[in-house]
């Protein structure tokens, strides 16, 4: 985690004195400051606990949270890592909360590495909407995605037969089915992603029914339930992206539930 409690106040690992005593804002357990050349400054629980703040966070995740916070602050915006709004339970802290300059609308930026249960994402999304917080969900691009990527034009790649994770499909829906931004944790760059339908070819068939009636079915195509063609455009550095807002209506599908409220996205 990037933020701990020090003398009852939030303190970021970047600014924390080496000899301080720090506590986890969630479970109040003791945490230790880790700061080195290879890893971005952070806190780790002294003893392993069941605390959600100790749920495996990779170096890449920490580094990306820190990068987003610092980049937005350089623009003069108020940005806070690991921020909890109001009475939302601590485990629903946003990775980064940033406030829009004139309107002061808070925007929760959520980096999604692993598949949390969809119900958990939905609960979080509904509570942000209730509090008037705009939300921007960013799934992580998995390194193996590139194994089957093919160039489709100067700044575009296509990944055929891509199996989107559940949370990606949910985020796509949250964004009015207009795609989503993905973060590459290795390069710390951002990609515009769109999961378009993937067509499967159904071969022609010839068979005989009782009474020697000849039957023929022409080759056709149908849409795959499991696969998409993932279109990726980029990469973009966060320095070149701005945040924009829109409103979405509540919606539900067979599998997912989306609240009505403010959503945010990056624009160039
Ligand atoms: Zn804790």
How far, in Å, from the CA of 82 to the mean position of ligand 1?
13
Other residues' Cβ atoms within 10 Å of the Cβ of residue 75: 11
Smallest CA-to-CA distance from 182 within 266, 73, 261, 116 is with: 266
| Residue 35 CB coordination number (10 Å) | 13
Per-residue pLDDT tens for 234-262? 999 999 999 999 999 999 999 999 999 99
Taking the centre of ligand 1 as the mean of its atom positions, its distance from the CA of residue 136, in whole angstroms, is 25
- pLDDT confidence of residue 189: 96
- For residue 131, what is the DSSP state? T
Q: How far is the CA of 19 from the centre of ligand 1 (A)?
A: 20
Question: Average of pLDDT values for 95-116?
Answer: 90
* Ligand 1 midpoint to CA 26 (Å): 5
Cβ-in-10-Å burial (0-12, 13-18, 19+) of 67 comes to middle
Cα 55 to ligand 1 centre (Å): 9
Mean pLDDT (whole number) for 191-205:
90
pLDDT at 124: 92
Spacing, Cα 217 to ligand 1 middle (Å): 61
The residues pairing with 80 across neighbouring beta strands, listed in sequence order, are 97
Dist CA 159 CA 147 (whole Å): 9
Q: What pLDDT band is residue 204 in, cutting at 50, 70 and 90?
A: confident
């Amino acid at each position: 985690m990037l933020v701990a409690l020090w003398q009852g106040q939030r303190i970021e690992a970047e600014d924390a004195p080496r000899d301080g005593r720090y506590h986890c804002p969630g479970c109040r357990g003791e945490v230790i400051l880790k700061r080195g050349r290879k890893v971005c400054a952070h806190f780790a629980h002294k003893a392993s606990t069941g605390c959600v703040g100790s749920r495996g966070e990779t170096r890449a995740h920490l580094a990306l949270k820190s990068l987003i916070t610092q980049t937005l602050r350089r623009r003069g915006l108020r940005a806070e890592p690991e921020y909890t709004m109001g009475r939302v339970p601590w485990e629903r802290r946003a990775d980064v909360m940033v406030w829009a300059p004139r309107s002061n609308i808070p925007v929760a930026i959520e980096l999604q590495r692993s598949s949390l249960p969809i119900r958990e994402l939905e609960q979080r999304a509904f509570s942000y909407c209730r509090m008037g917080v705009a939300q921007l969900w960013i799934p992580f691009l998995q390194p193996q995605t590139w194994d089957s990527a093919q160039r489709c034009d100067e700044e575009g790649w296509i990944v055929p037969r891509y199996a989107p994770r559940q949370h990606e499909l949910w985020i796509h829906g949250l964004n009015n089915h207009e795609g989503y931004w993905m973060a590459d944790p290795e390069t710390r760059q951002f990609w515009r992603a769109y999961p378009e339908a993937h067509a499967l070819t159904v071969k022609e068939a010839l068979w005989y029914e009782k009474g020697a009636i000849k039957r023929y079915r022409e080759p056709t195509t149908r849409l795959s339930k499991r696969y998409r063609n993932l279109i990726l455009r980029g990469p973009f550095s966060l320095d070149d992206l701005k945040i924009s807002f829109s409103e979405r209506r509540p919606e539900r599908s067979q599998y997912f539930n989306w609240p009505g409220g403010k959503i945010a996205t990056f624009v160039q």
